[in-house]
Structure 1
Amino acid sequence: MLPITTKIKEFKIIIAGILFAFLWASASTATKIGLHAAQPFVISIFRFIIAGSIMLILSHIIMAKRFPQKKEWMQISIYGLFNITFYLGLYVVAMQKVSAGLGSLAVATNPVFIVLISAVWLSHKIKFKNILSLILCFIGVFLAAYPLLQSSFATPGGILILVTSMIAYSLGTIYYSKQNWNGLHILTINGWQTIIGAVFLLPVLFITYQSEKNVFNSDFWFSTSWLAIAVSIGAVQFWLYLLKINPIKASYWLFLCPIFGFLIAYFMVDEPLTLYTLFGVVFVIIGLYTTLSSDKK
């Protein structure tokens, strides 16, 4: 029999994992809704300012956590560049060109990129299973995308941007897990990396902004509020909590993202579910399992 404290800890991990997967998967549909009312970088900047401000108020004013110091500012800036500027900046652009469900499916491939990039970064030998898992995941994404390409729910360029954003996210995850944060609170890290990442995006916003394409209606405010509070704060806090316990095991919860993602997109924005969707998800899950099971030790 496991001690009661161990059972409670395991239960907390399960709840955190399910909530993370659902909230993270909902981001693509929420983004799709927002894109009906505003340009991608307008949505992003509002999202990041709202989310970052809330987190920093909670961290520094309510919880009285310390500010980052010296080297930690550089660490947070690099993490924000990968995780906010590049990943989410590219992701919101890609969501103009791909379906919400496909966006969630792509997110689930991150563990494969994480393992492969970790091997290169740390000069480890890349295993055959890792290459196989990458191939299986790409087959899965292609299968799921095939009917969407035919029905204008996705474009090849959108898929390429989406994959690039996933690589940026995986780089950010590896960077975060390898840094010594000296007990800096995760709300502080997440808040400042969100604000700093938004600052890096401001020049792009100024260059691309067109006022006539932005209508600050209910769709816009629902989208940015959900992305800011439920995703940027809620989902990311759950993700960092899971990463802190075990980065590899945390990645297993991404298995649920494509399932939640396609279901949310089906019910919220009427995106199609087909046998291609089912087989695509199956291939991605097999690919993920191949990588994660081979690296579990």
Structure 2
Amino acid sequence: MFAKPVVRMRGLKLKEFLQEKTYLLAVIGAVLIWSTSFVATKIALWTVPPFTLGALRFLVAGIVLAVFLALQRGLVWPRRQDLGHLVLSGVLGITIYFALENLGVKLATAADAALIVAAYPAITMLLESLLYRVAVSRIRFFGVGLALLGVYLVVGESSSLGGPYRFRGDLILVATGIVWSFYNFVTRKVANEYPALLVTFYQTIAGAIAFLPLALLERAQWQAPAGASWLALLYLAIFCSLLGFLLYAYGLKRLTSSAAVTLMNLVPVFGVLCSVFLLGETLSLLQCGGGLIVIAGIILGVRQASER
């Protein structure tokens, strides 16, 4: 007599459980996609110059985004006072950021990039406290210090492993983290005014247009890209720039921000694994230890921030 309601309740619980797992898997999928971006960049750079790669990647991503937003009827013109922030954040977060990242990956290794990028939140926390007088607890400050110590170990060891070019590439990747921080500061001013996908679209378009003059500087290096480079370019544009973002945004519908950010700490882990197994790159024990210190410092800082 009472069996049907019990079965129905179990069915609802099972459905809710599967939905929760779907959101979790969406974020993990985004993490896996972003982890492979460093390997894909390295492959694309075999025959495509770094600035040209950035221009092509985000032109393709911008076109796909425009079609997607048009089909969803979500393509609206921003307010005049917000347009400047959208353009500036696009130039910072797309043009300058990826121009430096592509150049850094070209000179260094994909594994180095995966480890150094993990410290970008720590660089942002440090600049935020210095420029905006944001209070930082002792635990978060300790976490930032740990992450920066890890970066020092990774970068310091690169000169003995790969020579001056790898060392310069690592320094460029560290500078890229500073650009990433300022991109975040500018994006905050418009992030809550428009849907995230629309903000990404305008940033992508502004960044792609600003990339064009830089790409023209590389005309002497243009050549017919190899098949692997073309596939890597399309993967970067469609999967890393769009699908990863959509999966992450979908997962944030039910997961807490702190849980999602904690999962993001898997990016350097998967990124290094992909670099080692797919490209045959090598890391010293000291660099591996530095990478673990970076991740530990970021986890410590993020946990303290989520508790506050």
- State the TM-score bracket (shorter-chain normalisation): 0.7 to 0.9
- How far apart are the structure 1 equivalents of 2:104 and 2:148? 17
Report whether the alignment pairs 1:170 with 2:152.
no
TM-score, normalization by structure 1 = 0.87
- Name the CA shift for 1:291/1:43 in 2 (closer, same or farther; >3 Å): same
Matches within 5 A, 1:50-129: 50-60=60-70, 62-70=71-79, 71-120=81-130, 122-129=132-139
Q: Is the 8 A contact 2:114 2:272 kept in 1?
A: yes
Report the more deviating stretch, 254-263 or 121-130: 121-130
How many pairs were matched up?
Answer: 294
Q: Among residues 140, 157, 168, which one is paired with 1:157 in the alignment?
A: 168
Shift of 1:264: 0.6
Q: Is the 8 A contact 1:56 1:192 kept in 2?
A: no
List runs of 5+ in structure 2 lacking aligned partners. Answer: 1-9
- How far apart are the structure 1 equivalents of 2:247 and 2:14? 22
Shift of 1:283: 0.6
Pairwise CA RMSD of aligned residues?
2.7
Q: What SS does the aligned partner of 1:67 have? A: coil
- How far apart are the structure 2 equivalents of 1:109 and 1:80? 22
Q: What's 2:42 paired with?
A: 32
Q: What's 1:219 paired with?
A: 228
Shift of 1:175: 3.5
- How far apart are the structure 2 equivalents of 1:231 and 1:282? 24
TM-score, normalization by structure 2 = 0.84
Q: What's 2:3 paired with?
A: none
Which one-letter code corresponds to 1:163 in the other structure? V
The structure with the largest alpha-carbon Rg is 2
Q: What's 2:7 paired with?
A: none
Report whether the alignment pairs 1:205 with 2:215.
yes
Q: Among residues 256, 268, 285, which one is paired with 1:275 in the alignment?
A: 285
Matches within 5 A, 1:213-292: 213-240=222-249, 247-292=257-302
List runs of 5+ in structure 1 lacking aligned partners. Answer: none
Identity among equivalent pairs (%):
23
Which one-letter code corresponds to 1:259 in the other structure? V
Shift of 1:203: 2.0
1:177-196 deviations in Å (ceiling 9; x for gaps): 453544x3433322221111
Q: What SS does the aligned partner of 1:179 have? A: helix
Report the more deviating stretch, 146-155 or 196-205: 146-155
Shift of 1:46: 0.6
- How far apart are the structure 2 equivalents of 1:51 and 1:232? 7
Shift of 1:47: 0.3
Q: What SS does the aligned partner of 2:265 have? A: helix
- Name the CA shift for 1:236/1:273 in 2 (closer, same or farther; >3 Å): same
- How far apart are the structure 2 equivalents of 1:32 and 1:109? 20
1:179-224 deviations in Å (ceiling 9; x for gaps): 3544x34333222211111112222222x21334533221220121
- How far apart are the structure 2 equivalents of 1:24 and 1:215? 26
Which one-letter code corresponds to 2:200 in the other structure? N
Q: Is the 8 A contact 2:155 2:167 kept in 1?
A: no
